[in-house]
Amino acid sequence: MIRLFVTHDLGAGVDLNLPAEQAHYLVNVMRLEVGKTLRLFNGRNGEWAARLIAVAKRGASLRVETLERAQHIGPDLDLIVALIKRPRLETIVEKAAELGARRVRLTATERTNADRVKVERLTAIATEAAEQTGRLDVPEVLAPERLDRVLAGCGSSRRLMFCDEAGDAAPALAALRDASTTPWAILIGPEGGFSPAERARIRAVPGAVPVSLGPRILRADTAAIAAMTLWQAAIGDWRTP
């Protein structure tokens, strides 16, 4: 079943017009014919069945019919990732959406070495991943900020899983064994790692939980996927049906 993220309010009997890009995707890429159904979600009103009722040169019209799933949002999990080269950063954003992160926060560190970031492009990748994975919301992708500002934004109520490549932290599953599902953030460093000063600053953050991701050195995209997987398995929504 085709799923499409829209910004419109959704409800029984609502008619909405799609912009040219989404209409092209439905009609020319997915070959959806007039009269056929798809699923819509907007991150607020749940998932709805809708029917394609008209196709025009520069758009298409849908009619919303029935509620298929009530709105549900997963754990309050931020993925904080240092800027890296574009292809691997795009992979991280895609996998963050698939693995249930609510937000992706980009940060610049002392050893950041990256291309110019296009947040709109990353948001489009997150949206497509959300459509494909069945989640009912799209993770927010936030513009890059300096590391100290991102750490300050964590606040006292959000725990911080710090993936520390120095090798002196507890294994992730052991560190999370007795943790509770409060708001969390996972912090992934750049390819060159954090500087000693940054490591000290991160470990001083209230609620920081340094963890090890194993004996091998991981690329940033691999580390992000591994960390989110371990967090979801330990205290996230993988524990429930």
Fold category of 3-69 in CATH: Ribosomal Protein L25; Chain P (2.40.240)
Start-to-end C-alpha separation, the chain: 22
Q: Give CA–CA dist 89/70, Å, rounded.
A: 32
Whole-number average pLDDT of the chain: 93
pLDDT of res. 182:
86
Long-range contacts of 126-129 (CB under 8 A, 24+ apart): 126/93, 126/94, 126/96, 126/97, 127/5, 128/94, 129/93, 129/94, 129/95, 129/97, 129/98
* pLDDT tens profile 56-67: 888 999 999 999
Angle between helices 86-98 and 220-235 (to 10 degrees): 10
Strand partners, 105: 80, 142
Q: How far apart are CA 87 and CA 71, in angstroms?
A: 32
pLDDT in the model for residue 63? 98
pLDDT of res. 114: 74
pLDDT at 185: 96
pLDDT at 191: 85
Question: Under DSSP, is residue 51 helix (H, G, I), strand (E, B) or coil?
Answer: strand
Q: Give pLDDT tens digits for 172-224.
A: 999 998 888 789 999 999 988 899 999 999 999 988 999 999 999 899 999 99
Q: Is the pLDDT of residue 9 over 90?
A: yes
How far is the C-alpha of 189 from the C-alpha of 223, rounded, in Å?
A: 9
Query: Rounded to an integer, what distance in angstroms lies between the CA atom of residue 45 and that of residue 29?
Result: 26
- Distance set, CA 10 to CA 87, 131, 143, 190, 207 (Å): 34, 16, 28, 40, 39
CA–CA dist 52, 132 (Å, integer): 19
Residues 196, 214, 130, 183, Cα dihedral to 10°: -60
DSSP code at position 94: H
Q: Which CATH number fits domain 77-239: 3.40.1280.10, 1.10.3720.10, 3.40.50.150, 3.40.50.720?
A: 3.40.1280.10
Q: How many residues does the chain have?
A: 241
pLDDT at position 239: 77
User: Which residue matches tokens 């459509």?
Assistant: 131
pLDDT average, residue stretch 82-106: 96
Per domain, the residue ranges of the chain are 3-69, 77-239
Q: Is residue 23 predicted with pLDDT exceeding 90?
A: yes
Is 207 in contact with 184 (CB distance < 8 Å)? no
Categorize the per-residue pLDDT at 241 as very low, low, confident or very high, splitting at 50, 70 and 90. low
Residue 240 has pLDDT above 80, yes or no: no
Mean pLDDT of 119-131: 97
